[in-house]
Amino acid sequence: AQKSASPAARVKRLVVRAQKTLFGGWFIFPPTATERISRSSHPLRVKFGIDPTRDRLHLGHFVPLRVARKMQEQGHDLHLILGTITAALGDPSGQDKTRPILSEEEVRTNADSLLKQVERVLLPGFQVHRNHEFVEAMSVPFFLTRLASKVTVTNMLSRDGFRRRNE
């Protein structure tokens, strides 16, 4: 029966099965972490980030979005961080080659589209941050002395993704 089911029906079954498995208890957070979160006397700040390299969410966003929603339901503060600078720079994220560099307009359009989709999953009241806002606020001397000085070419090349891209 499974092989004759449509691809959409198979994906739906897979998602339902994953949701039952992942959110039935201990899989995402061990019981001790869940208990600590539940007993927390103050709301935790939960950060969830998405890079707007495309204009649609995919199945890989499902689990973290559900966890973020669950945390909201428990009264925690959710901060959605849209990786607008990361998408614009073409960050490889463990891939062998650089993602295509997107224009500001493409990044803005993708981020707006993703935000509309995320709003359908999460509860209202979460805060939205676009990470280019943090970078734009940095001065060149701050960046060079506090951030760039901490990373050497050797460090970068020791990361497998950077090394493979430079070979």
* pLDDT tens column, 56-112: 999 889 888 988 998 898 889 999 999 998 788 765 555 556 667 788 999 999 999
Asked whether 61 and 50 are in contact (CB, 8 A), the reply is yes
Q: Do 122 and 65 meet the contact criterion of CB atoms below 8 Å apart?
A: yes
> Alpha-carbon distance 43 to 37, whole Å?
9
Cα 12 from Cα 9, distance rounded (Å): 5
Q: What average pLDDT score do residues 8-37 get?
A: 58
Q: Which neighbouring-strand residues pair with 129?
A: 81
Give pTM, 2 decimals: 0.64
Relative to beta strand 45-50, strand 77-82 is parallel
pLDDT in tens, 113-155: 999 999 999 999 999 999 888 878 777 777 777 766 777 767 6
Contact yes or no for 129/81 (Cβ under 8 A): yes
At residue 21, what are phi and psi to the nearest 5 degrees?
A: -70, -50
**pLDDT value at residue 20:** 56
**CA angle at residue 48 from 42 to 51, to 5 degrees?**
160
- Token readout for 166 is 């430079």
Tell which residue, 84, 83, 45, 50, has the closest CA to residue 64: 50
Give the closest residue to 57 by CA, choosing from 123, 132, 130, 121.
Answer: 121
